[in-house]
Amino acid sequence: MPIVDRILMGPGPCNPYPEATEALTRPMLGHLDPVFLDILDETCERLRAVWRTGNPVTLPLSGTGSAGMEAAFVNTVGPGDVVVIGVNGLFGERMCDVAGRCGATVVQVAARWGRPLDPEEVIAAHPHPKLIAAVHAETSTGVRNDIAAVGDGKGDALMLADCVTSLGGIPVAVDDWRVDIAYSGTQKCLGVAPGLAPFTINGQALERRQERPQSWYLDLGMISEYATAKGARKYHHTAPVAMITSLHAGLGAVMAEGLDAALQRHADCGLLLQDGLQKMGLELFAAEGYRLPELTTVVVPDGVDDIAVRSTLLERYGIEIGGGVGPYAGKVWRIGCMGHTARVANVTLLLAALAEILGR
């Protein structure tokens, strides 16, 4: 089979930074090799910089973004704990599923898909929840939720933020926003292949964590004795050495560009794309003022065949975009501009390709 190269403009994975891809070809190192441990330590340090946190327990968890979601809940929530969850898309719904499996009493605060959560409503949903959780960047709808506002009014509750599609794409400030626990994924705006879940948790949340979480593999206490330990490292599971080395390199590319410059690049590409789509007469789905630059949702025009357009983009132009999910399957397109994909050249090509296919 020939090697196929795509422009990945779906909801993830994105095209990885070339530095991240190159790192995957390096000779294997042992997971306790001092050379690898230096790479791991520096990866955690770089993650602290992109999360904007001083949390010592900041690390890449083994597994995709969903492993981060599961680790967040399983380590902090047990039977009977009250958890308030903001739900305005698929990933908010998933959080409710995961929290429910931990035995939590889930209080849902819903907003219509395509609209942001009302932070006041989330804060007021329960007088003393153990945890409040919300998705920062809802990848199912292209909407940004105001995490800082929820963090500001969280009271004694722990604040958990899903930053899978926000980290590296739009500003995230864990410490300033009073977020206690957050997770992300490598394949969205961080510009690395899928496989790791960057994770951060502060001291207050660690103090209130489950002593013996229901998951052995995702037990943060045991994982941090390897990943963020000073001095002697305790084996828990074999670290995904190649993936961590790749993340290290991808974050290195972001640092070399400058985090602010990388965020600006995402912002510029998103604006250019959204402007171009509207000039073509297409309707954006996410509410104005809350649109993510890194993930744009577009209403599939009446009479247009969703699947035919997406296959033509893939086959004729090598561009992948995503379809809608849940109630919006077949009704919206989801166009990602994340990581290394977030380049003007890609936006220009997609707009021209879409214009040609749609005859606009």
* CB-CB contact of 88 with 98 (8 Å): no
Sole window of 116-124, 159-167, 271-279, 344-352 interacting with ligand PLP (rule: CB under 6 A): 159-167
Counting contacts by CB under 6 A, is residue 215 touching ligand PLP? no
Q: How far apart are CA 270 and CA 257, in angstroms?
A: 18
- The closest residue (CB) to ligand PLP is 65
Q: How far apart are CA 116 and CA 81, in angstroms?
A: 26
CB burial readout 263-302, b (16+ within 10 A) else e:
bebbbbbbebbbebbeeeebebbbbeebbbbbbbbbbbee
Nearer CB in complex with ligand PLP: 97/283: 97
Contact map string, positions 289 to 328, toward ligand PLP, x by CB under 6 A: ----------------------------------------
Among 65, 119, 129, 151, binds ligand PLP (CB under 6 A): 65
Nearer CB in complex with ligand PLP: 76/139: 139
Minimum distance, C-beta of residue 188 to ligand PLP, in the bound complex (Å)? 6
Helices (H), 146-294: 147-152, 203-207, 220-227, 241-257, 259-279
Minimum distance, C-beta of residue 74 to ligand PLP, in the bound complex (Å)? 15
Residue with tokens 């590319």, as numbered in its chain: 253
Could you tell me which residues are beta bridge partners of residue 319?
7
Helices (H), 11-140: 18-23, 34-51, 65-76, 90-101, 119-124
Sole window of 47-55, 111-119, 157-165, 296-304 interacting with ligand PLP (rule: CB under 6 A): 157-165
CA 11 and chain centroid, separation: 10
| Window 192-211: residues binding ligand PLP (CB under 6 A) | 194
Among 12, 16, 119, 129, binds ligand PLP (CB under 6 A): 12
List of residues contacting ligand PLP (CB under 6 A): 12, 64-66, 69, 91, 135, 139, 162, 164-165, 185, 194
